Amino acid sequence: MARKKIIAGNWKMNMTPSEAVELVNTLKPLVVTEEADVVFCVPSIDIIPAMEAAKGTNIQIGAENMYYEEKGAFTGEISPNMLTDVGVKYVIIGHSERREYFAETDETVNKKVLKAFEHGITPIICCGESLTQREQGITIDWIRQQIKIAFLNVTAEQAATAVIAYEPIWAIGTGKTATTEQAQEVCKAIRECIAEIYDEATAEAIRIQYGGSVNAATAPELFGQPDIDGGLVGGASLKPDFGKIVNYK
Ligand code: 13P
């Protein structure tokens, strides 16, 4: 069965709750499609108003982060039950900005991935190399390690439903998109890694996105690659251009 594309926006720390409602209202007629799942991952405080605004549309609202404990003395964190209680089905885990500024590691990513599955939330698991790592020629080794740790103790059934976002750090917010060849090469390697950990069927089912300066001009070629099943879009997801990215064909 062909994999359905998944095109997600990552709003990062942008949009107040009232701006979020406005943006959803602006984008909802532009992102109509039956060919892809469309997800807006928004700041925690925007989840409820964005969800209200997206009611009756094809837009699904996701979270940008989640903690791996059920509840308790973890000031400032958001729990899986808080997300599922309002109907959240997707959560970004291990974005490079969280790894860089908030001390996330492959190990905390794994804990969060396991917790998300336990609660029936689909994790969008981020991986990606730095420019130095790319120049050192260790990109594939690095990504394989990130993937192997992220999926520790994850079952094949769970893994088949996961989303992986390959986001080269040097391409995020820089306007410097990876070339189609670079993006396809790594996404293919990720699929092969999943096949090694699990089996071919799981590798064929899992969806792998590319992220990093995706825009309306670069989306068609990127999303047309055999191992790229859509994108995780930052800056351009806050603009009407996101409609063009979703309807890239
Ligand atoms: P940009 O699309 O702004 O480069 O951000 C990519 C990203 O980090 C999505 O998670």
pLDDT string in tens for the chain (249-residue length): 689 999 999 999 999 999 999 999 999 999 999 999 999 999 999 999 999 999 999 999 999 999 999 999 999 999 999 999 999 999 999 999 999 999 999 999 999 999 999 999 999 999 999 999 999 999 999 999 999 999 999 999 999 999 999 999 999 999 888 899 999 999 999 999 999 999 999 999 999 999 999 999 999 999 999 999 999 999 999 999 999 999 999
Catalytic residue among 22, 135, 167, 204: 167
Which residue puts its alpha carbon closest to atom 9 of ligand 1?
234
pLDDT at residue 176, as a whole number: 85
DSSP letter (8 states) at residue 95 = -
* Ligand 1 binding pocket includes 64 (Cβ within 6 Å): no
Interior angle at CA 170, CA 169 and CA 176, nearest 5? 125
In the chain, how many H helices and how many E strands?
Answer: 12, 8
* Ligand 1 binding pocket includes 232 (Cβ within 6 Å): yes
User: Which phi and psi angles does 107 have, rounded to 5°?
Assistant: -70, -45
Q: Which DSSP helix (H) or strand (E) runs through 230?
A: strand 230-233
- What residues contact residue 156 under an 8 Å CB cut-off, 6+ apart? 198, 199, 201, 202
DSSP letter (8 states) at residue 143 = H
pLDDT at residue 160, as a whole number: 98
Residue 119 annotated as catalytic: no
pLDDT at residue 1, as a whole number: 63
User: Ligand 1 centroid to 149 CA: how many Å?
Assistant: 23
Ligand 1 atom nearest to CA at 215: 2
pLDDT at residue 120, as a whole number: 98
* Ligand 1 binding pocket includes 211 (Cβ within 6 Å): yes
* Residue of 247, 230, 184 whose CA lies nearest to 10: 230
3-state secondary structure of 17: helix
* Ligand 1 binding pocket includes 127 (Cβ within 6 Å): no
* Ligand 1 binding pocket includes 87 (Cβ within 6 Å): no
* Ligand 1 binding pocket includes 172 (Cβ within 6 Å): yes
pLDDT at residue 136, as a whole number: 97
Strand blocks (E) in 84-170: 90-93, 122-127, 163-166
Residue 95 annotated as catalytic: yes
Which residue puts its alpha carbon closest to atom 5 of ligand 1?
234
Catalytic residue among 64, 95, 97, 104: 95
Ligand 1, from 6, 7, 10: best to mutate by most atoms within 8 Å of Cβ? 10
Query: Rg (Cα) of the chain, in Å, rounded?
Result: 17
The alpha carbon of 239 is separated from its chain's Cα centroid by a whole number of angstroms, namely 18
- pTM exceeds cut of 0.85: yes
pLDDT at residue 175, as a whole number: 85
Contact in structure between 50 and 42 (CB atoms under 8 Å): yes
* Ligand 1 binding pocket includes 234 (Cβ within 6 Å): yes
